[in-house]
Chain A
Amino acid sequence: MDIAIFALKRLASAIVVLFAVSVLTFLIFFAIPNGDPALRLAGRTATAQTIATVRHDYGFDRPLWVQYGKVMKQILDGSIQSYTQHVTVFSQIKRGLPATLSLAIGAAIIWLIVGIVLGVIGALRAGKATDVAISTFSFVGISAPSFVLGSILLYLLTYKLRIFPPGGYTPITQNPIQWAEHLVLPWVTLAVLYIGVYAQVLRSTVLDAMTTDAVRTAHAKGLSPTRVMIKHVLRVSLIPIASLWGLDFAAVLGGSTLVVESVFNLNGVGQYAADSVRSLDVPPVLVITLLGACFVVLMNAIVDVLYAVLDPRIRTTTS
């Protein structure tokens, strides 16, 4: 019963969040100067008469809430169209999704594994040169903007050393090797920031865990240092990392791929969003933002469940 109430509460708050996101995104475009979509739809050489006709046909002269309602209805039945290209938004998103998912999932796996390895090494070598090197790398990674890092990698490794192919995306179904070759640099560019964050977070949670009473007990039991480290230190330290990972993955898929996709010309959903923003094309931006928000809300729920699975203390307080 408690779980049902909990789920209902989550659902209600998710709906509120999504509603707020949709309203805000919708309104932003009316606050932007030169945002009038009728001007763009009517074309460069349109007369005032044409513009007025377009405005009336598209309903841009109706009250905002009516326009909002119409747009939302079109989003829900999937018929919403771009203002600039006469195609449905969802078909465009579907086209870009493989690239975006390949980028986000690959990067998330890389930053999780590398972040954990560096974090653990940093904790085990705390204060030594290795630790200092990892920390330095982490902070450089955290502070380097992805468009700078991506451009540098692209310049050095693609144009100078010609190790990787220039930007673009090859579907994995077409050629897995080319798929990976095209994605290595975007993955690294996107992952470096999170590797730095995870390495530092894990380093400190591991260092904290190593001095707990429970770990002292584990040593006193006569367990091997490796077993103590894996079963009693890491197992506990990874709980916050697991939830962090879920939320960061959602955030990346909900928007952070945008810059990297543009730098490497991956033609993914992020790049579609960026192009749409540039041309003040409201429908794609609205849909992509809402999808991102949906995904963040969903991942939040998954993380909550994951937390309960990983930490028995949460389990008893929620059930």
Chain B
Amino acid sequence: MSDIEVFQRAPITDEVLRVEHLKVSFRTERGVVQAVDDVSFRVGRGEVLAIVGESGSGKSVSAMTLMGLTRSPNATISGSARLADGTELVTASDRDLQRVRGSRVAMIFQDPMSALTPVYRVGDQIAEQIRAHEKVSKAAARARAVELLERVGIPRAAERSRAYPHQFSGGMRQRVMIAMALSCSPEILIADEPTTALDVTIQSQILAEIEDLRQETGVAVLLITHDLGVVAEVASRVVVMYAGRVVEECEVHEIFKDPLHPYTWGLLGSVPRIDKVRPDRLPTIQGSPPSLLRPPSGCHFKTRCPHRFAECDREPELRALEPNSVHRDRCHLSLQDKRALRIVDGAIGLPIPVEKELS
């Protein structure tokens, strides 16, 4: 089944980004690392698509590739990533890409403490981006920077715009980053682990801010995260990545109600729940992610999957198990097996320690 066919069935009518068969590999001294292996997804106008996965799953590399930030002499990038008007990001010239960055696709990063240049005032750093894309005077760009800072909830914005990054707290710096990202009214905001480096209380404030701005401006958000709590809070759809591949894709409620891939179950099982008795040890997925230098043949998750069987040596396709469903996963288990296997102790997720064997 081709991906195109699935796209046609999907409910998204108005998409701002379509990524198809994106592959990113890096030549290293130890061999070729296939960081992103045939990834396809779409982002609809005004929606929040979450890409979930652990470190090394390729989620950040995918996002950075959209911005052209992974381009380097030892990187090989293929596939396609098109904006609504057909602008192709993968093959765009550096110059064309430069025009897209910051103006049509903007990005905020994980660590706001280091994401700004320390020697310039924050207002000037925002103004710099505005002036990179629009012919406006320095004064006008600065005035707009102040408005933006106000909009992302920075008190005394006019005064604070003249402060330097180190004079802001982490949460406030992330607000500055958001203001900067939205300064040229982009179609897509890529948020790469935007709350990971922040305190828990600040995390939800920043998420709420992103959500407010999404509603206000209609910007689509591509949210990269490993935190399912964050997903539950703001995402409308979810793509789960593992070892460079998409292993599951669905609407956000389905990932919690009806997760289909054993890796997703593991992720869900390792989230502490306040509605359950807390176990002595939080369940974990056994082992560690495979080396992307030489990933296992067939299913990439098979080495850690407690439910693996002979079929897993053959590469599973990303497919929908029910007709007309937008819920797809990459696993050979049947729907019935999945629904029986994933229940452990009355909850979804893997038991501790993993000792389940099948077939």
Interface residues of B in 33-88 (CB under 8 A from A): 67, 69
Contact indicator A214/B116 (Cβ below 8 Å) = yes
DSSP class of A's interface residues: helix, strand, loop or mixed?
helix
Contact indicator A219/B69 (Cβ below 8 Å) = yes
Contact indicator A222/B117 (Cβ below 8 Å) = no
- Given A222-B101, A236-B119, A312-B118, A216–B167 Cβ distance below 8 Å? no
Bound form: Cα–Cα A192–B107 in Å = 44
Of B117, B164, B177, the residue contacting A232 (CB under 8 A) is B117
Residue A217 at the chain B interface, CB threshold 8 Å:
yes
- Given A214-B115, A310-B119, A220–B69 Cβ distance below 8 Å? yes
| Size category of the binding interface on chain A | 20 to 34
Bound form: Cα–Cα A310–B119 in Å = 7
Contact indicator B128/A217 (Cβ below 8 Å) = no
Instruction: List A contacts of B67 (CB < 8 A).
Output: 219-220
- Given A222-B133, A312-B166, A313-B118, A217–B98 Cβ distance below 8 Å? no
Residue B303 at the chain A interface, CB threshold 8 Å:
no
Interface size on B, residues (CB 8 A): 29
Residue B132 at the chain A interface, CB threshold 8 Å:
yes
Residue A71 at the chain B interface, CB threshold 8 Å:
no
Interface residues of A in 216-266 (CB under 8 A from B): 216-225, 227, 231-232, 235-236, 239
Residue of A nearest to B167 (CB): A316
Residue of B nearest to A220 (CB): B107
Residue of B nearest to A313 (CB): B166
Residue A213 at the chain B interface, CB threshold 8 Å:
yes
Interface residues of A in 186-233 (CB under 8 A from B): 212-225, 227, 231-232
Residue B147 at the chain A interface, CB threshold 8 Å:
no
Name the distance in Å between A77's Cβ and chain B's nearest Cβ. 46
Instruction: List A contacts of B17 (CB < 8 A).
Output: none
Instruction: List A contacts of B106 (CB < 8 A).
Output: 220
Instruction: List A contacts of B167 (CB < 8 A).
Output: 316
Of B100, B109, B119, B129, the residue contacting A213 (CB under 8 A) is B109
Residue of A nearest to B130 (CB): A221
Instruction: List A contacts of B180 (CB < 8 A).
Output: 221
Residue B114 at the chain A interface, CB threshold 8 Å:
yes
Bound form: Cα–Cα A235–B119 in Å = 8
Name the distance in Å between B146's Cβ and chain A's nearest Cβ. 18
Name the distance in Å between B198's Cβ and chain A's nearest Cβ. 15
Map CB proximity to A onto B113-140 as digits: 1 under 8 Å, 0 otherwise.
Answer: 0111111100000001100110000000
Contact indicator B119/A223 (Cβ below 8 Å) = no
Bound form: Cα–Cα A214–B117 in Å = 5
Residue A311 at the chain B interface, CB threshold 8 Å:
yes
Name the distance in Å between A305's Cβ and chain B's nearest Cβ. 16
Interface residues of A in 291-306 (CB under 8 A from B): none
Contact indicator A213/B118 (Cβ below 8 Å) = no
Contact indicator A214/B101 (Cβ below 8 Å) = no
Contact indicator B102/A222 (Cβ below 8 Å) = yes
Interface residues of B in 92-111 (CB under 8 A from A): 94, 98-103, 106-107, 109, 111
Name the distance in Å between B76's Cβ and chain A's nearest Cβ. 19
Contact indicator A312/B107 (Cβ below 8 Å) = no
Bound form: Cα–Cα A260–B351 in Å = 77
Bound form: Cα–Cα A316–B121 in Å = 13
Contact indicator A216/B100 (Cβ below 8 Å) = no
Bound form: Cα–Cα A214–B132 in Å = 17
Contact indicator A219/B118 (Cβ below 8 Å) = no
Contact indicator A221/B118 (Cβ below 8 Å) = no
Instruction: List B contacts of A225 (CB < 8 A).
Output: 94, 98
Contact indicator A213/B111 (Cβ below 8 Å) = yes
Bound form: Cα–Cα A213–B107 in Å = 12
Bound form: Cα–Cα A311–B117 in Å = 11
Bound form: Cα–Cα A225–B101 in Å = 12
User: Besides the contacts A221-B132, A223-B132, what 10 more A-B pairs have beta carbons closer than 8 Å?
Assistant: A212-B114, A220-B69, A220-B101, A221-B102, A221-B180, A222-B101, A231-B120, A231-B128, A236-B117, A311-B119
Identify the B interface with A (CB < 8 A).
67, 69, 94, 98-103, 106-107, 109, 111, 114-120, 128-129, 132-133, 164, 166-167, 177, 180
For the complex of A and B, the 8 pairs showing the least CB-CB separation, nearest first, are A222-B102, A222-B101, A213-B114, A221-B129, A312-B164, A221-B102, A214-B117, A220-B107
A-B contact pairs, 8 of them (CB 8 A): A217-B109, A220-B106, A223-B102, A227-B132, A231-B117, A236-B118, A310-B119, A316-B166
